Amino acid sequence: MSKPNMSRLHNAIDLLGKLVAFDTTSKNSNLGLIHFVRDYLAEYGIESILIHDETGQKANLLATIGPKGVPGIALSGHTDVVPALETTWESPAFELTERDGKLYGRGAADMKGFSACALAMIPELVKRDLEIPFHLCLSYDEEVGCIGVGSMVDHLAAMDTPPRLAVIGEPTNMKVINGQKGKYSMRVGVTGTAGHSSFAPNHVNAIEYASRAINLIAEKAREFEENGPFDEDFTVPHSTMLTTTISGGTATNVTPEYCEFTFEIRHLPEHDAEAVIAGLQATIMDTLDAEMKAKADDTGFSFEKIFSYPGMGDCTDAEAFSYVSNIIPEISGKVSYGSEGGVFEKQGNIPSIICGPGSIRQAHKPNEFIEISQIEECLEFLDALTNQAIAA
């Protein structure tokens, strides 16, 4: 390997160590990391835009390298990580540790590896005469429902020349992923009336009404399984819907007054989850809720959206996709886990693909790692991607 590549790799590993050392578990502030990146970019004369959340404790960072006024390519990474509370970590989770060609640490794969690679390219990028810009997009609160990235995508979409493509660097072993399911999750409260269970017919049983609603959800899920819509590029080729948590009741001899449950739909990008939820809600209100209210006032259902993010559709026929397909011609399919790609695509109208170093299998687990060879591959990809943009 040639010398400049070695220094690039060295840089990336060094930067990854610094990024991992910030405990950016989603419940924490990410400002330490964001300020570190801002200062690093400033050393190369690159200005960062920080877009804070309403608490001021978290921020997205948006930085443009290259010319303004030309549509470019967004490189997207989330800064937050899932908790590292497992007791089976063999080295400290927030201290990057190398063993056998692998770098261990929370976020090494998901997904500080990609961000470190993008940052490691900066010293070279500022020397290149770029024809199109690259927008570094670092977000907060991805792991808790792609919450942070929206305000940054709004900012990008409002530019005179929004990006023409986004590369979401979630770990795919540097394979190109051209679709991702969306998710919509809901909390449902069911209020009945309490009383001694021996007088049950006089009461409105919250758990029993909840269970009837849960049945409707399961029926709907079976409908998707049988009738689609289908997309065979997904491992589970249809939308899925299920109840995920439930709690209710107070004692074995009391008619339950309250029951709460959560459910989610993970939907194909083109499947309208909002319409599914609205339809389901209307059915429940027209039947179960009406039946409850006929027995007693102040009973019934309440619905609360927990969060949603859109699915990411296939953009491989977008012109700008050639920037990626020139380097990685093969398309490796679609994934059911979430990413910010859907927000870029649906909210920002920016065609998106997922491609990043490391494996999703190592994510969200103790002893998360990324192989050094994956960092090398990502650096080569970013080098080739940005080289295509050099003015002739």
Q: Which is nearer to Zn ion, 111 or 353 (CB)?
A: 111
CB neighbour list of residue 179: distance below 8 Å, 6 or more residues apart:
231, 233, 234, 269, 311, 312, 313, 314, 333, 334, 335
Ranges within 72-131 binding Zn ion (CB under 5 A): 110-111
**Shortest Å distance, C-beta 36 to Zn ion:** 19
Residue sitting closest to Zn ion (CB):
110
Tell me how many degrees the CA angle 233-153-238 measures, rounded to the nearest 5.
Answer: 20
Euclidean distance between CA atoms 206 and 299, whole angstroms? 9
Least distance from C-beta 251 to Zn ion, angstroms? Answer: 43
Q: How many CA atoms lie within 13 A of 264 on its CB side?
A: 15
Residues 132-171 that bind Zn ion (CB under 5 A): 170
Q: Tokens standing for 253?
A: 């001899």
Q: Minimum distance from CB of 79 to Zn ion (Å)?
A: 10
Number of residues interacting with Zn ion: please give it, by CB under 5 A.
3
d(Cα 104, Cα 368) in Å, to the nearest integer? 6
The distance of closest approach from Cβ of residue 349 to Zn ion in the complex, given in angstroms and rounded to an integer, is 23
Nearer CB in complex with Zn ion: 8/183: 183
CB 184 within 8 A of CB 273: yes
| Strand residue runs (E) in 29-154 | 48-52, 59-65, 73-78, 97-99, 102-104, 134-139
Q: For Zn ion, which is the closer residue by CB, 110 or 371?
A: 110
Spatial neighbors of 248 by CB under 8 A, at least 6 apart, are 190, 206, 207, 210, 256, 258, 259, 260, 261
The smaller minimum CB distance to Zn ion, of residues 84 and 130, is found at: 84
Helix %, strand %, coil % of the chain (to 5): 35, 25, 40
Q: How far apart are CA 311 and CA 166, in angstroms?
A: 14
Q: Is 348 helix (H, G, I), strand (E, B) or coil?
A: coil
- Smallest gap from Cβ 318 to Zn ion, in A, equals 23
Minimum Å distance from CB 129 to Zn ion? Answer: 33
* Touching Zn ion, residues 170-209 (CB under 5 A): 170
* Shortest Å, Cβ 315 to Zn ion: 19
In 3-state terms, what secondary structure has residue 291? helix
x/- mask, Zn ion, residues 39-78, rule CB under 5 A, reads ----------------------------------------
103 vs 155: CA distance, rounded Å: 34
Task: Give the nearer residue to Zn ion in terms of CB position, either 132 or 354.
Answer: 354
CB of 108 to Zn ion, least distance (A): 12
Q: Does 264 bind Zn ion (CB under 5 A)?
A: no
Q: Which is nearer to Zn ion, 111 or 292 (CB)?
A: 111
**How many other C-beta atoms lie within 10 A of the C-beta of residue 232?**
9
Over its C-alpha atoms, the chain yields an Rg (Å, rounded) of 24
Residue number with CB closer to Zn ion (174 or 389): 174
Q: Residue 237, SS3? A: coil
Shortest Å, Cβ 357 to Zn ion: 12
The nearer residue to Zn ion, 146 or 382, going by C-beta atoms, is 146
Burial of 50 (0-12, 13-18, 19+ CB in 10 A): middle
Question: Scanning residues 344 to 363, which ones bind Zn ion (CB under 5 A)?
Answer: none
Which of 143, 264 has the CB closer to Zn ion? 143
* Residues at the interface with Zn ion (CB under 5 A): 110-111, 170
